[in-house]
Amino acid sequence: MSVRVKKPIRFIFFLLLTIAFIFAATMFALKYLLVKFIAEDEPTGIEVVQNSPENKNPEPTPTVEPTSAPTVAPTSSPEAKAVSANTSIANQDDGKWNLVLVNKNSPLPEGFSPTLSNIDSSRKFDSRAIGYLNAMLAQMRSDGVGNIWAQSTYRPHSTQINLFNESIQKYKNQGYSAAEAEAKTLQTINRPGTSEHELGLAVDFNYVTNDFKNTAEYAWLIEHAQDYGFILRYPANKVDKTFVNYEPWHWRYVGIDHAKKIKELGFCLEEYIEYLNGGNTTTV
């Protein structure tokens, strides 16, 4: 009788022991696999970037980046590469190429030729800045002020020469002298070599008219363009410094830190460069 009772108890005991062992082995294996998968994901940097404070907004806006660090961050850091891959924004502000001053007293060197990328089939922009332009336009459309397009961007030197000469000829045909025709042309067209459009960092929006200043798109740019590294290049109150009349349609890429600082100081680019040459830095 006692043997009959003990046998089932032993059987159940061993059964439970076996189940416990299998359970423990399974849990161990699961834990090992889980740790392994997490460890394999980390080196991609994608999770790290998505969870970082800079990337809470799914739209690739550089707006929440800290003021001083990002645009001077080394391009070789893994995080910078990950951000670039995620947002198509190259982070290559060395404080030189993006602050090149072009005006009537400061022409581009002969043979200047920037590295360009295509905005569409006919328009080009500096390859290092095109990501910022595209991100800005995308954000405008996302914010409901999407009646915006880049009408005129990079202009080859030869095109600027043609524009300039055609305008002079037009005024001559109207009876103006050569000197008068050139003076009238210079009111709206920069002398070849002194146009920012040859630099590849300037963009004229929409119909390139003064009416642009009355649009929601212009108001948006005035409020946000600095977050994408753009400044209104020819403000109404800086004509004596820029030598160019107020152009609400013409925006210039200078980099985020510089654009923010220029706006904060209420400077035009000429004044800002003078300010930097005076020993100040963007982190002041």
Select 204 or 257, whichever has its Cβ closest to Zn ion: 204
Binding-site residue total for Zn ion (CB under 5 A)? 2
Euclidean distance between CA atoms 272 and 177, whole angstroms = 38
Question: Which tokens go with 4?
Answer: 């009959």
C-beta of residue 154 within 8 angstroms of C-beta of residue 200:
yes
Of 198 and 204, which CB lies nearer to Zn ion in the complex structure?
204
**Which residue among 128, 250, 258, 260 contacts Zn ion (CB under 5 A)?**
250
* Min dist. Cβ of residue 231 to Zn ion (A): 13
Binding to Zn ion (CB under 5 A): which residues in 188-217?
A: 204
Instruction: Show the tokens assigned to 170.
Output: 């037009």
Cα 239 from Cα 268, distance rounded (Å): 9
Q: Find the catalytic residue in 247, 264, 270, 274.
A: 247
- Is the CB of 124 or the CB of 250 nearer to Zn ion? 250
Tokens 């645009």, residue? 71
Residues 25-64 that bind Zn ion (CB under 5 A): none
143 near 219, Cβ under 8 Å? no
Asked if residue 154 lies in contact with residue 114, where contact means CB atoms within 8 angstroms, the answer is yes
What residue number has its CB nearest to Zn ion? 250
Tallying the residues shown for the chain, one arrives at: 284
Residue 271 contacts residue 240 (beta carbons within 8 Å): no
Is 166 known to be catalytic? Answer: no
Task: Give the binding range for Zn ion (CB under 5 A) out of 128-136, 220-228, 249-257, 260-268.
Answer: 249-257
- Binding flag, residue 258, Zn ion (CB under 5 A): no
Of residues 49 and 129, the one with the C-beta less far from Zn ion: 129
Euclidean distance between CA atoms 29 and 31, whole angstroms: 5
Q: Taking contact as CB under 5 A, which single stretch among the options 11-19, 29-37, 47-55, 250-258 is the one that binds Zn ion? A: 250-258
Active site residues: 247
Q: Give residues in contact with Zn ion (CB under 5 A).
A: 204, 250
